[in-house]
């Protein structure tokens, strides 16, 4: 381990080129989507686009339909307070977590801790070099958790990439002691089946349970064998984190055959990911509930017994959802927003050709009581601004903005930027604010943009894959009541009860 304004309101009409039809066809016929462009420990290689696509992007900039390269634009109710560029960690920026006056930012090369006591001027407290793709991050008390979803030579922070076909390879969860924010200490490593793409904390007084989401098994991977139809559950004693260990692998998709009971994907359901595990899980501990985004399925389950979660309902959308990516409850736990990461986060899907219902959010209402509760689809939400064919854009990570009696959230859309939207009326969601940059390139499709955008104690924080850590402030009568709400800690996949 090594320590280390401009406002424009418009509706774009970009993305109707004939070449976009080819992209749509490719997405429909592709195999299971990967959840993110996975560059290992380096940024993804830019993909060439056609001359006509490049020309269209430049023309759209010239006509004011999209912002210029790297130009920042935003709605009148959002202010960009500042940006902290990458420093010692050059990899892809990923997820965020918060605690007191600190923000924790994941990066494919490790993680960075910011002091955000003055949100207008965050300061770097420490940077830890510990490569391993995703490096999905969360915190609880004096413990920090980091997901490793690339096959490594060992569990150390000095490891190198190594094929998953080799039995000695390692991937899974890492645990750090952050009692000294300036000098985090690596205290535990737990190997998990198929690694850890993301993880979710279920904290208790003496222990922290960690739900590990991973997928894509292969008969050639000794530590990632099919069927991989569940999640790993790790128990971490707070006073003895070095004793962290897997305590179970609950099966969420029971069924006969080699692939369990999840969505079979293509060719049965063309363009839909085969379910071989979960991508992300969000828990609402105050309600003993969890929602899982599991590739080809969305699930609702009970976590009354955290070591043995029980599925209540399972839904699929084989028309418009390609890859169930993440989930967010509203405060009353009578709605779940699921996201579809069409194209795996590396494609340009925010255009007219793909349309408003794919690569979007799906809003589901939770009806019934107890174990008879059901997820009922109500509508889709997608940002109302078309992006260039050189911009990766699709629904990604977001969080609630805590306004009592309202359902409002902020969400990252990669190069589609940050969107604030209201789904109080489940059938008629609407955007109420946005922030974004122009394309990274007009000549190539480059991976970038906001990976995670979360609301924490009065401000919006965004981790841009390429540009760094952004701080935003929204001033709007619809969201202003949230400024009074404070929480001591925020891991978005462990949703707090803001009004308990």
pLDDT of residue 21: 33
Q: pLDDT class for 44, splitting at 50, 70, 90?
A: low
Q: What is the CATH number for 430?
A: 2.130.10.10
Q: Give a three-class secondary structure readout of the chain.
A: CEECCCECCCCCCCCCCHHHHHHHHHHHHCCCCCCCCCCCCCCCCCEECCHHHHHHHHHHHHCCCCCCCCCEEECCCEEEEEEECCCCCCCCEEEEEEECCEEEEEECCEEEEEECCCCCCCEEEEEEECCCCEEEEEEECCEEEEEECCCECCCCCCCCECCCCCCCCECEEEEEECCCCCCCEEEEEEECCCCCCEEEEEECCCEEEEEEECCCCCCCCCCCCCCCCECEEEEEECCCHHHCEEEECCECCCCCCCCCCCCCCCCCCCCCCCCCCCCEEEEEHHHCEEEEEEECEEEEEECCCCCCCEEEEEECCCCCCCCEEEEEECCCCCEEEEEECHHHHCCECCCCCCCCCCCCEEEEEEECCHHHCEEEEEEEECCCCCCCCCECECCCEEEECCCCCCCEEEEECECCCEEEEECCCCCCCEEEEEEEECCCCCCEEECCCEEEEEEECCEEEEEECCCEEEEEEECCCCCHHHHHCCCCEEECCECCCCCC
Q: Is residue 14 part of a domain?
A: yes
Q: Is residue 471 part of a domain?
A: yes
> What distance in Å separates the CA atoms of residue 294 and residue 175, rounded to the nearest whole number?
25
Q: Is residue 205 part of a domain?
A: yes
Q: Is residue 378 part of a domain?
A: yes
pLDDT of residue 31: 31
Q: Is residue 353 part of a domain?
A: yes
Check whether 32 has a pLDDT greater than 50. Answer: no
Quote the percentage of the chain above a pLDDT of 90: 85
Cβ neighbours for 136, distance < 8 A, ≥ 6 positions apart: 94, 95, 106, 146, 147, 149, 196, 197, 198, 199
**β-bridge pairing 450-456 and 459-464:** antiparallel
> What distance in Å separates the CA atoms of residue 84 and residue 470, rounded to the nearest whole number?
7
Q: pLDDT class for 257, splitting at 50, 70, 90?
A: low
At 80-139, the pLDDT tens digits run 999 999 999 999 999 999 999 999 999 999 999 999 999 999 999 999 999 999 999 999
The closest alpha carbon to 214, from 136, 316, 153, 122, belongs to 136
Check whether 467 has a pLDDT greater than 90. Answer: yes
> Cβ of 117: how many Cβ atoms within 10 Å?
11
Q: pLDDT class for 8, splitting at 50, 70, 90?
A: very low
> What distance in Å separates the CA atoms of residue 117 and residue 112, rounded to the nearest whole number?
16
Arithmetic mean of pLDDT over the chain: 91
Task: Please say whether the dihedral angle defined by the alpha carbons of residues 213, 37, 21 and 420, taken in this order, is positive or negative.
Answer: positive
The closest alpha carbon to 164, from 224, 228, 230, belongs to 224
Can you tell me the mean pLDDT for 208-234? Answer: 96
At 433-458, the pLDDT tens digits run 999 999 999 999 999 999 999 999 99
Q: Is the separation of the CB atoms in 74 and 7 below 8 Å?
A: yes
Q: pLDDT class for 12, splitting at 50, 70, 90?
A: very low
Domain count, the chain: 1
Task: Please say whether the dihedral angle defined by the alpha carbons of residues 346, 263, 412 and 66, taken in this order, is positive or negative.
Answer: positive
Q: Is residue 496 part of a domain?
A: no
Check whether 410 has a pLDDT greater than 70. Answer: yes
At 374-409, the pLDDT tens digits run 999 999 999 999 999 999 999 999 999 999 999 999
Check whether 272 has a pLDDT greater than 60. Answer: yes
At 311-366, the pLDDT tens digits run 999 999 999 999 999 999 999 999 999 999 999 999 999 999 999 999 999 999 99
Here the tokens at position 411 are: 């969400």
pLDDT of residue 45: 61
Q: Is residue 437 part of a domain?
A: yes
pLDDT of residue 459: 98
Q: pLDDT class for 4, splitting at 50, 70, 90?
A: low
Q: Which domain holds residue 419?
A: 2-490
> What distance in Å separates the CA atoms of residue 326 and residue 336, rounded to the nearest whole number?
10
Here the tokens at position 401 are: 């903005």
Here the tokens at position 240 are: 């003895």
Q: Is residue 225 part of a domain?
A: yes
CA distances from 456 to 116, 171, 220, 287, 336 (A): 11, 30, 43, 21, 20
């Amino acid at each position: 381990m090594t320590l280390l304004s401009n406002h424009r309101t418009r509706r774009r009409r970009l993305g109707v080129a004939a070449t976009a039809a080819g992209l749509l066809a490719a997405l429909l016929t592709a195999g299971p989507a990967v959840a993110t462009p996975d560059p290992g420990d380096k940024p993804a290689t830019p993909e060439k686009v056609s001359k006509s696509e490049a020309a269209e992007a430049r023309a759209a900039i010239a006509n004011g339909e999209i912002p210029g390269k790297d130009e920042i634009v935003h709605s009148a109710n959002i202010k960009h307070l500042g940006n902290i560029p990458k420093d010692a960690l050059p990899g892809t920026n990923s997820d965020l977590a918060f605690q007191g006056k600190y923000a924790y930012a994941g990066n494919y090369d490790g993680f960075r801790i910011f002091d955000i006591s003055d949100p207008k001027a965050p300061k770097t407290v420490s940077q830890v070099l510990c490569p391993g793709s995703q490096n999905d991050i969360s915190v609880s008390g004096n413990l920090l958790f980091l997901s490793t979803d690339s096959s490594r030579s060992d569990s150390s922070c000095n490891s190198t990439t190594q094929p998953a076909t080799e039995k000695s390879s390692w991937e899974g969860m890492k645990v750090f002691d952050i009692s000294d924010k300036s000098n985090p200490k690596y205290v535990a490593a737990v190997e998990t089946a198929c690694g850890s793409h993301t993880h979710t904390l279920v904290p208790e007084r003496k222990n922290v349970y960690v739900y590990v989401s991973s997928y894509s098994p292969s008969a050639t991977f000794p530590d990632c064998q099919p069927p991989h139809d569940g999640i790993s559950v790790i128990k971490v004693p707070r006073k003895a984190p070095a004793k962290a260990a897997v305590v179970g692998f609950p099966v969420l998709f029971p069924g006969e055959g080699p692939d369990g009971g999840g969505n079979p994907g293509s060719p049965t359901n063309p363009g839909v990911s085969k379910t071989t595990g979960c991508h992300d899980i969000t828990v609402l501990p105050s309600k003993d509930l969890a929602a899982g985004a599991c590739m080809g399925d969305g699930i609702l389950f009970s976590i009354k017994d955290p070591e043995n979660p029980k599925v209540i309902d399972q839904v699929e959308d084989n028309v418009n959802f390609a890859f169930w990516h993440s989930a967010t409850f509203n405060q009353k736990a009578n709605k779940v927003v699921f996201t579809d990461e069409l194209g795996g986060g590396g494609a340009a899907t925010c255009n007219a050709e793909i349309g408003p219902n794919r690569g979007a959010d799906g809003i589901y209402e939770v009806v019934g009581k107890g174990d008879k509760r059901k997820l009922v689809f109500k509508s889709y939400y997608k940002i109302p601004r078309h992006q260039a064919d050189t911009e990766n854009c699709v629904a990604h990570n977001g969080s609630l903005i805590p306004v009592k009696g309202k359902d409002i959230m902020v969400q990252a859309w990669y190069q589609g930027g940050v969107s604030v939207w209201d789904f109080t009326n489940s059938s008629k969601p609407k955007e109420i604010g946005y922030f974004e940059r122009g394309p990274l390139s007009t000549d190539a499709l480059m991976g970038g943009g906001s990976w995670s955008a979360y609301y924490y104690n009065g401000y919006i924080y965004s981790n841009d894959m390429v540009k760094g850590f952004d701080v935003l402030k929204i001033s709007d009568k619809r969201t202003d009541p949230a400024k009074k709400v404070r929480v001591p800690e925020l891991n978005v996949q462990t949703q707090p009860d803001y009004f308990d």
